Structure 1
Amino acid sequence: MPGNKANVLRQLVTFGAIGAVSVALQSALYALSRIWTGPLLANLFSLVICTLVNTEANRRFTFQATDRPVSRVHLEGIVVFVGYYAVTSGALAVLQAVDPAAPRWLEITVLVASSLLGTVGRFAVLRAWVFRRSRAAEHDNSSA
């Protein structure tokens, strides 16, 4: 069991580092795309790009699931994406309802805060569902 705790800690640290880079990239893409589109479409654009990169980085580095087919991981990742997009877009929609003229810095602050909330759920779902089989195989290998 101690090895499992160390593995979870390693996964959390790696996931956090990848997530931090992803949120920074998402924020930059969001700010750039907000020049020509509304907040929900800008969020969708920035999140699609970042999710593809983020999921692949987590497949390789966080969960070390190179045995999983890339297409399957990304298909399952779409389900996770929908929940994450709902959290971040919901937060932006609430902000727009409360203050339709909210400054861009406030939109990005809300986006980052909701991304942090979504990230907690994303880690749990990726670990428990998308990369579950790889963890089981890793456990079998460590006990051999």
Structure 2
Amino acid sequence: METAQSQEQAAPGAFTAFARFVLCGGGVGIASSFAVAGLSSWIPWVLANALITVASTLLATELHARFTFGAGGRATRRQHAQSAGSAVAAYAVTCVAMLGLQLLVAAPGAVLEQVVYLSASALAGVARFVVLRLVVFARNRSQAAATVRPVPAAVAGAPAPADPAELCYAA
């Protein structure tokens, strides 16, 4: 059985995690952009983007749990929920970018739409990486909260000073 310490040692550094994030998340993102483009020919673009965002977020969260951040297994419900929160923000960024494009260009071509969509996705992706690394798949957050650090005997047995200023002069 793997200990928490050995799992912690296996956690990738920031550069490695970002490279994996770009490969996993970028691959899912590129596939999503084509899926949104295809699906939007049958249903409104905003709905197509919402459906593809949900499916791609579930897939990407699993990939990030297993490979990107080295969490050691499947993503938990908490991780899926937190990841979904960052995906909602990414969805909003892509929607605003595409709606802005529609306001600026009367009939944008498919290539321009893809460039705008992928650029907005990349911007949102960098923000998602930070959130996923520092919040969703953060190491030792739950362990640190559960860890009780022993108080040294000299401090535990000493009476508390009545005046906080005495702390500076206690020896």
Quickly name the TM-score band, shorter chain normalised.
Answer: 0.7 to 0.9
Q: 2:38 aligns with which of 20, 32, 39?
A: 32
Q: 1:132 aligns with which of 130, 133, 138?
A: 138
The answer on 1:8 being equivalent to 2:14 is yes
| CA displacement at 1:103 relative to structure 2 | 2.0
Aligned AA for 1:91? Answer: A
Aligned AA for 1:99? Answer: V
| CA displacement at 1:109 relative to structure 2 | 1.5
Q: Distance in 1 between matches of 2:45 and 2:107?
A: 12
Structure 1 equivalent of residue 60 of structure 2:
54
The TM-score, its normalising length taken from structure 1, stands at 0.82
Q: Distance in 2 between matches of 1:69 and 1:135?
A: 16
Q: Distance in 2 between matches of 1:34 and 1:117?
A: 22
What is the correspondence of 1:87-102 to structure 2 with a 5 Å cutoff?
Answer: 87-102=93-108
Aligned AA for 1:45? Answer: L
Counterpart secondary structure, 2:72:
coil
Q: What is the identity percentage for the equivalent residue pairs of Structure 1 and Structure 2?
A: 34
| CA displacement at 1:68 relative to structure 2 | 7.6
The TM-score, its normalising length taken from structure 2, stands at 0.70
Does the C-alpha gap of structure 1 residues 60 and 20 become closer, same or farther in structure 2, counting only changes over 3 Å? same
**Cα-Cα RMSD:** 2.2
What is the correspondence of 1:67-78 to structure 2 with a 5 Å cutoff?
Answer: 70-78=76-84
| CA displacement at 1:92 relative to structure 2 | 0.6
| CA displacement at 1:104 relative to structure 2 | 2.4
Q: Which has the larger radius of gyration?
A: 2
Aligned structure 1 segments of 4 or more residues deviating by more than 6 angstroms: none
Q: Which ranges in structure 2 are unaligned for 5 or more consecutive residues? A: 1-8, 144-171
Structure 2 equivalent of residue 103 of structure 1:
109
| CA displacement at 1:126 relative to structure 2 | 0.6
Q: Distance in 2 between matches of 1:26 and 1:118?
A: 14
Contact residue 61 and residue 75 of structure 2 kept, 8 A: no
